[in-house]
Amino acid sequence: MVAIGDIRDALAAVVRLDFVSAAFSLASLIPIGGDIAAGIKKTEQFIRAADEIPSGAALRSAMKDFGKSTADKMDLQLKVSPTAVTKLTAAGLPDTDIVRLASRMISAKHFDDMVNSASDIRRAPQTYRLEKDAENFLRSPTPDALSGQIMTKANERATKRLYDVLDRGAGFADEIRHGRGRGVGRAADQVEKDLKILADPDSTIRKVTWHFFTNTNNTVGPDQRLLDLLNQRGLPFVI
């Protein structure tokens, strides 16, 4: 089943951004005959109502279109996610890697917002299959900064927080996410605990950073809810 929003965004992309080849037709989104799809395509009012930025479904399909070159796909990315492309390129990511990341993004806007909000962009030496491998890489400059638990009694309530990388002496703690982090359940609770620990005058931790590593499915970063939480709470994150 296909949402109307995806059809609308695909139409907008075809008309306004010209980012799809003939091979990427509405038939890839709409399980109906070509004549009906063509009829929808001609509905100008419907097209005008579409968003300026294509949805995730349209963007992902465009990035996977074998009929388009990497240069063409990067040209599209510069139109819909200019900040993401600029910052990722400056960080040393090749065009092919940027296209692969875009092919798994929630939407063009989210891609742009996520990269723009990141406190830093770091290119890992490889894509890690397991989260523990990413954890070992992050810990390598400070091998003694093992996983550890922090306890605080801020606001008269005891709070426990386990960090993936913890250096009490240097006053920093790191949370690692492998692939896409979602702002529900445990992650949302961890954000609130981070704030309590940072607010505790007796805590030795003065900086908490969230680190997002790309997994083998080419997904990375916080979803919209977690992105909003990190931004609202002022917690830095690295992708």
> What would the pLDDT profile of 161-184 be if each residue is shown by its tens digit?
989 998 888 899 999 999 999 998
Mean per-residue pLDDT for 57-83?
87
Tell me, yes or no, whether 122 lies in a domain. no
Q: Are residues 108 and 28 in the same domain?
A: yes
pLDDT of residue 156: 61
Of the listed ranges 51-65, 76-90, 189-203, the least confidently predicted one is 51-65
Q: Are residues 90 and 150 in the same domain?
A: no
Cβ–Cβ < 8 Å for 70, 98: no
Q: Are residues 96 and 137 in the same domain?
A: no
Last-in-domain residue among 64, 91, 117? 117
Q: What is the pLDDT of residues 204-219, one digit of tens each?
A: 899 999 999 999 988 9
Residue 235: how many other CB atoms lie within 10 Å = 19
Q: Is the pTM higher than 0.75?
A: no
Q: What is the pLDDT of residues 100-153, one digit of tens each?
A: 999 888 888 999 999 999 999 998 888 899 999 998 898 888 767 667 777 776
Q: Are residues 107 and 12 in the same domain?
A: yes
Cβ–Cβ < 8 Å for 210, 181: yes
Q: What percent of the chain has pLDDT over 90?
A: 44
Tell me, yes or no, whether 123 lies in a domain. no
Calpha distance 40→74 (Å, rounded): 28
Residue 78: how many other CB atoms lie within 10 Å = 13
CA–CA distance from 218 to each of 60, 69, 105, 150, 221 (Å)? 12, 19, 9, 32, 10
Q: What is the span of the domain harbouring residue 207?
A: 131-238
Instruction: List the CATH number of the domain containing 216.
Output: 3.40.1350
Distance between terminal CA atoms of the chain?
A: 33
Q: Are residues 112 and 23 in the same domain?
A: yes
